[in-house]
Amino acid sequence: MHVGRALIEKHGWHDEYPHWGEQNPDAETTSVREQEHELEQRVSEYIRDLPFLWVDVPADPGPECDRAVIEPNTIARVSHHRRSAGSSDLDWLGYHSPKSEVYQSGLWNVRHVSDKFDPSLVDQLSGYIPSTNALDHQSRI
């Protein structure tokens, strides 16, 4: 949703995609989905080309699992670093986002970007790195 909105803002496509990101039944019609197909494709292409880091944290999902602690703390930590270090990529699409959380944090997240992070995150995350198998570029496709 955030990538699509930033593309709309950057290219002035407000008239072409007036319902993008709306969460109401009127925006879920077949005609709206057909109209937004090209933008969906562009969003998918953009996201597919983003770098990512994958760490295997095995557990059943839930509020008490390590993933429930690692994910928000990692987002908060990276966001804090990016805000304090500044961004070197002045062409980043996120600067066109209408969400201040996106363009200020340098992340495509809005949740947890303003949270304080727990410094013990590094030790907790480090414990999972040795058991994480590397993925090559081909396995992403």
Domain ranges of the chain: 2-49, 66-131
Give the length of the chain: 141
Q: How many CB atoms lie within 10 A of CB 94?
A: 19
Cβ contact 39:13 at 8 Å: yes
Residue 13, both tokens: 């496509």
- Which among 49, 125, 121 has a CA at the least distance from the CA of 80? 121
Read off the pLDDT of residues 57-78 as tens digits, 9 standing for 90 and up. 888 888 888 989 899 999 999 8
Q: Which residues of 114-131 are buried (b: 16+ CB within 10 A; e: fewer)?
A: eeebeeebeeebeeeeee
Read off the pLDDT of residues 73-123 as tens digits, 9 standing for 90 and up. 999 998 887 766 566 677 899 999 999 999 888 899 899 999 998 888 889
Total-model pTM: 0.78
